[in-house]
Copies of this chain bind each other. A is one copy, B any other.
Amino acid sequence: MLQELKEAYGFIFEDELIEEINRVGKLQVVGAGEKIIEIGDYVKMMPLLVEGAIKIMREDKDGDELLLYFLERGDTCAMTLSCCLGQTKSEIRAIAERDTKLIMIPIEKMEEWTSKYKSWRDFVFESYHARLSEMLDTIDTIAFMNMDQRLMKYLQDKAKINQSEVIAVTHQQIAYDLHTSRVVISRLLKKLELDERIKLQRNSIEVLEL
């Protein structure tokens, strides 16, 4: 675990903090597609992402869903962070986008490290900053872009996070992530294929434009 920790966080945290994380953190391995946090959960551990990728989803009372953003190695979930500190329920759902390794930190350490390590404070603030930026980006996307642009952006983001220009996904899954219907997605995908920006296969899409 120590090795992975150093790779993902070594250039941020001082050795002393890395060792402390190594001591108190619990490694958790999650398979692609598995749920990590559900809406309404009380969060008692703070996750540090050391490998893989996670997608963060929003859902309202009627069950309508929307993808908010992806997290990568070196990221943490600011929402969770927020929940830990505020002792409130999670407002989002986290799902492993691919096989993922997390280090879970008990929240008691949060307060301790925040006063003890400047690098930890900076990391927490930086995380909040990054997440606010992602949220702004999400808002821009749904407020200012049409569905065809959103779809293309989605495919590109997903290709990037999975480090492959071929992404394994059905039209229905895309529809859930973008909060629209399967028919709409199929229609727009076909148009993107005609424009030679993607190639369609059953259960997968090749993104030609990254």
Chain A interface (Cβ < 8 Å from any Cβ of B): 58, 60, 62, 64, 66, 68, 78-79, 82, 85-86, 91-92, 114-115, 118, 121, 124-126, 128-129, 131-133, 135-136, 138-140, 142-144, 179
In the complex, chain B residues whose CB is within 8 Å of the CB of A91: 133, 136
Beyond A64-B144, A115-B118, whether A58 also contacts B139 by CB under 8 A is: yes
Number of copies: 2
| Complex A-B: 19 CB contacts under 8 Å | A62-B144, A64-B143, A64-B144, A68-B139, A82-B125, A82-B133, A85-B126, A86-B129, A91-B136, A114-B121, A115-B121, A128-B128, A128-B132, A132-B132, A135-B135, A139-B139, A139-B142, A142-B142, A144-B179
A75 smallest CB distance to B (angstroms): 15
A176 smallest CB distance to B (angstroms): 13
Q: Is the CB of B125 within 8 A of A60?
A: no
In the complex, chain B residues whose CB is within 8 Å of the CB of A126: 85-86
In the complex, chain B residues whose CB is within 8 Å of the CB of A82: 125, 128-129, 132-133
In the complex, chain B residues whose CB is within 8 Å of the CB of A131: 132
Q: Which among B78, B139, B179 is the interface contact of A132 at CB below 8 angstroms?
A: B78
A26 smallest CB distance to B (angstroms): 24
Q: A58-B139, A143-B179 are in contact. List 20 more A-B contacts (CB 8 A).
A: A60-B140, A60-B144, A62-B144, A68-B139, A79-B132, A82-B128, A82-B129, A82-B132, A114-B121, A115-B115, A115-B118, A115-B121, A128-B128, A128-B132, A135-B135, A135-B139, A138-B139, A139-B142, A142-B143, A144-B179
